[in-house]
Amino acid sequence: MTDSYDAVYTRSLNGPENFWAEAAQAVHWDKNWDRVLDDSRPPFYRWFPGGLLNTCYNALDRHIESGRADQPALIYDSPVTQTVQTFTYRELLDQVARFAGVLSAQGVQKGDRVIIYMPMVPEAIVAMLACARIGAIHSVVFGGFASHELANRITDARPKVIVSASCGIEVGRIIPYKPLLDKAIELAAVKPERCIIVQRPQEKATMVGGRDLDWSEEVARAKPVDCVSVTATDPLYILYTSGTTGMPKGIVRDNGGHLVALKWSMQHIYGVEPGEVYWAASDVGWVVGHSYIVYAPLFNGNTTVLYEGKPVGTPDAGAFWRVVSQHGVKVLFTAPTAFRAIKREDPNGECMRKYDLSGFRTLFLAGERCDPDTLLWAQKQLEVPVIDHWWQTESGWPIGANCVGLGMLPVKPGSCTKPVPGYDVRVLGDDGTELPPGQMGSVVVKLPLPPGCLPTLWNNDEGYRKAYLARFPGYYLTGDAGYKDEDGYLSVMTRTDDIINVASHRLSTGALEEVLASHPDVAECAVLGVADAIKGEIPLGLIVLKAGVRRSHGEIVSEVVRMVRERIGAVASFKIATVVKRLPKTRSGKILRGTIKMIADGVDYQVPPTIDDPLILDEITADLSTLGYPTGSARSSV
């Protein structure tokens, strides 16, 4: 089976136009493309120019016409509201077509922008697909985002309509969205013509007369509308990367390449057949939610799960396994941080064994690097393949993975396996030369990028060139550092700005974290470089212990320091670590290493708008001050 991957990968690089033309036969086109790849204006490449299609048609209408009308398309599972609701393909299409009618009645046309500021409710998916149905460009903003960050996105996207909800619901608390939205509109340089609000029973929003409309009332009177053909190169959506200062970058995703790549990925990467239940435990506000909660599963004729809950706490560390068992999930895709949380609360897998997981087939992890200890723990507990794979908001679908549908390759913990067909991945040194196996450098992708990746930034070609293409001409700069081994396996270790320089020795924080995570008492950890007058930088370790650990913190710290010295060497100068209750993370689960570093270096910082709980930063500041660090303070709060 190894030859299957090798043959497909080779074919994708040697004849990319033929390869993707073949893949494009799996989707419905209203009109075929004029050519597969437009390479007339490098480094700005476009896939399937001249082709006409509709993303919503390929996600819904097509399956109804082929006999899937009564198959579940969407399962909404919300432990925070005690709700489980199933929509067939026919029912979901009815909702989408009617809401597309609502948007059309408000004057939204092909090319207009619609911002969707929503919690994890079915209406969020309905709104996304409704925009795609009429050729409008949606921009989903994570629900509960700070007003000034939402205002930046409103100013840049210039939406005609904003779709939102009265509130989001977290464990034990309600987050009113409408005040945040109203403040954002006040701050924004441009104003939407209308806001359409889903009134949730847990919190009723105050409506602004003449601007705000009630979702239910508008849908009740709406007439369903048909799909509008768009060109393959027309934008489907804008997804803004989360910046802490200035205007965020608007990642553009086109209709044609996106559809072809995601449809191909479901069967060839994830090994999922039409009709099966697939669950990406993420949020629609992130790229994983766009690609693998909404679009790819529906393109492939799957049943997708929308989960409004947490891996632990709703109600316990068995939450994921209840969903998998209850809904017959075959493949789960989530972030390593979710599994570290589960491992911390249920280290022996007792909650897991309460449920029938006999139909569960594969676990995929992505979002940040998966340490080998977490991967091996999950593999032992689940007794199914655990696949670490790597991709980015910019790529929109995996860059490196163990492609299950092409035949599983041997798993090497710590590696995302090999580049996905279509991606010519290289590791370059600072001078732009390709590095030998085992040597860490900048991970790049040779242009042109395959279909589905960003063609540019929203209204900012020069920003795209500067951020991603200028450093190594002819290559896309991922911003990640890693290496390939002798077998061609790719290990992505850290962001390039997370490489620390200790007395002129370049060290990967990911490699250090790998050692700390292997300690039997450690649930999760973070390593960052902090300023040092002698060595320039030295590594600092923060560790969170598993539930039930009662040993001396000092003893555990001494053990992890010794482990680093034994496995990496004295050159790492790893001497300082401390036990903390929890680590500051974004809502998507990424550890905020840069913010922790600024606190430790005594630099005043701005609270990242994506942070899950700003109060954690106060805890970290107190922990670092006990170690003698000067500690910076927040300039503003979310």
Q: How confident is the model at residue 2 (pLDDT cuts 50, 70, 90)?
A: very low
Q: What is the mean pLDDT of residues 360-388?
A: 93
Q: In 10 A of CB 602, how many CB atoms?
A: 14
Averaging pLDDT over each range in 291-305, 508-522, 578-592, which range is the top one? 291-305
Please tell me the total count of domains within the chain.
2
pLDDT at 325 over 70: yes
Q: Same domain for 553 and 437?
A: no
In a domain, 413, yes or no: yes
Whole-number Å distance between alpha carbons of 131 and 109? 9
* pLDDT per residue as tens digits for the range 560-574: 999 998 888 777 889
Whole-number Å distance between alpha carbons of 3 and 5? 5
Quote the pLDDT of residue 605: 81
Copy the structure tokens of residue 22: 């073949």
Residue of 321, 324, 328, 334 lying closest to 270 (CA atoms) = 334
Q: How confident is the model at residue 638 (pLDDT cuts 50, 70, 90)?
A: very low
Copy the structure tokens of residue 622: 């107190």
CATH number at residue 561: 3.30.300.30
C-alpha distances (whole Å) from 503 to each of 498, 506, 534 are: 16, 8, 8
Q: Tell me the residue ranges of DSSP E strands in 194-340.
A: 194-198, 212-214, 230-231, 235-240, 250-254, 277-280, 303-307, 329-334
In a domain, 289, yes or no: yes
Q: Same domain for 475 and 516?
A: no
Q: How confident is the model at residue 1 (pLDDT cuts 50, 70, 90)?
A: very low
CB 308 within 8 A of CB 120: yes
Copy the structure tokens of residue 140: 């989903």
Q: How confident is the model at residue 245 (pLDDT cuts 50, 70, 90)?
A: very low
DSSP state of 497: G
Alpha helix locations (H) across 141-223? 147-157, 178-187, 215-221
Whole-number Å distance between alpha carbons of 591 and 516? 15
Q: How confident is the model at residue 534 (pLDDT cuts 50, 70, 90)?
A: confident
In a domain, 368, yes or no: no
453, 483, 513 - which closes a domain = 483
Q: What is the mean pLDDT of the chain?
A: 93
Q: Same domain for 584 and 472?
A: no
Cα-to-chain-centroid distance, residue 3: 30
CB 264 within 8 A of CB 22: no
Whole-number Å distance between alpha carbons of 344 and 532? 32
Residue of 281, 319, 247 lying closest to 80 (CA atoms) = 319
Q: What's the burial of 173, exposed, middle or buried (CB within 10 Å: 0-12/13-18/19+)?
A: exposed
In a domain, 354, yes or no: no
What sign for the dihedral angle of Cα 423, 428, 433, 436?
negative
Q: Same domain for 215 and 294?
A: yes
- Which residues have a Cβ under 8 Å from the Cβ of 313 and sit 6 or more positions away? 171, 319
Quote the pLDDT of residue 107: 97
Quote the pLDDT of residue 171: 84
In a domain, 367, yes or no: no
454, 483, 512 - which closes a domain = 483
In a domain, 295, yes or no: yes
What are phi and psi for residue 341, nearest 5 degrees? -65, -40
* pLDDT per residue as tens digits for the range 71-110: 999 999 999 999 999 999 999 999 999 999 999 999 999 9
SS3 18: helix
Q: Which residue has the tokens 């316990």?
A: 316
* pTM of the predicted protein model: 0.87
Q: Same domain for 154 and 15?
A: yes
Q: What is the domain extent for residue 102? A: 2-309+389-483
pLDDT at 626 over 90: no
In a domain, 383, yes or no: no
Q: Same domain for 603 and 458?
A: no
> Helix (H) and strand (E) counts for the chain?
20, 31
CB 205 within 8 A of CB 166: yes
Q: Same domain for 191 and 99?
A: yes
Residue 121: in which H helix or E strand, if any?
none
483, 515, 532 - which closes a domain = 483
Q: Same domain for 91 and 27?
A: yes
Alpha helix locations (H) across 346-490? 372-382, 461-464
CATH number at residue 90: 3.40.50.12780
Q: Same domain for 472 and 507?
A: no
Q: What is the mean pLDDT of residues 128-148?
A: 93
What sign for the dihedral angle of Cα 506, 508, 511, 512?
positive
Residue of 549, 575, 562 lying closest to 628 (CA atoms) = 575
Q: What's the burial of 150, exposed, middle or buried (CB within 10 Å: 0-12/13-18/19+)?
A: buried
Q: Same domain for 469 and 591?
A: no
Q: Same domain for 582 and 528?
A: yes
Pairing of strands 113-118, 303-307: unpaired
Q: Same domain for 132 and 191?
A: yes
* pLDDT per residue as tens digits for the range 345-367: 999 999 999 999 999 999 999 98
Cα-to-chain-centroid distance, residue 257: 19
Pairing of strands 576-579, 536-545: parallel
In a domain, 635, yes or no: no
Pairing of strands 230-231, 72-78: unpaired
